[in-house]
Amino acid sequence: MKKDEEKLRKAIIDACRTMNALGINQGTAGNVSARHGDTLLITPSGVPYEALAPEDIVAMSLSGDYGSHEGKLAPSSEWRFHLDIMLARPEVGAVVHTHSPYATALAICGVEIPAVHYMIAAAGGPTIRVAPYATYGTEALSRHALAALEGRSACLLANHGVIATGPSLQRALWLAGEVETLARQYHLAATFGKPRVLPDDEIAVVVEKFKRYGPRQMEAAGAKDAQKTAKPAPRRQRAAAGKGTGRKRGASSGPTPNGRGGKKR
Residues noted as catalytic: 78
Please tell me the distance from the alpha carbon of residue 50 to that of residue 241, in angstroms, as a whole number: 51
Please tell me the distance from the alpha carbon of residue 213 to that of residue 185, in angstroms, as a whole number: 21
Residue 64 contacts residue 78 (beta carbons within 8 Å): no
* Three-state DSSP state, 179: helix
Please tell me the distance from the alpha carbon of residue 106 to that of residue 24, in angstroms, as a whole number: 14
Question: What does residue 75 show for φ and ψ, rounded to 5 degrees?
Answer: -70, 165
> Could you tell me how many helices (H) and strands (E) the chain has, helices first?
8, 8
Q: Which amino acid is at 68?
A: S
CA nearest neighbour of 121 among 181, 194, 205 = 205
Q: Which parts of 110-168 fold into alpha helices (H)?
A: 139-148
Q: Which amino acid is at 239?
A: A
